[in-house]
Amino acid sequence: MKGVLKMQTSGNKNIGGFIAGILIGGIMGSAIAMLFAPMTGKKLRRKIFNATDELLEDVNEYVETGKEKAEELIKEGKKKAGAILTDAKKLVSLS
Contacts of 55 by beta carbon, 8 Å cutoff, 6+ apart? 23, 26, 27, 30
**What is the span of the domain harbouring residue 6?**
2-94
Number of domains in the chain: 1
pLDDT band at 3 (very low <50, low <70, confident <90, very high): very low
For the stretch 38-93, pLDDT in tens is 777 788 788 878 888 888 888 888 888 888 999 999 999 999 999 999 999 988 88
**Global confidence as pTM:** 0.47
Whether residue 14 has pLDDT greater than 90:
no
Q: What is the reported pLDDT for 55?
A: 83
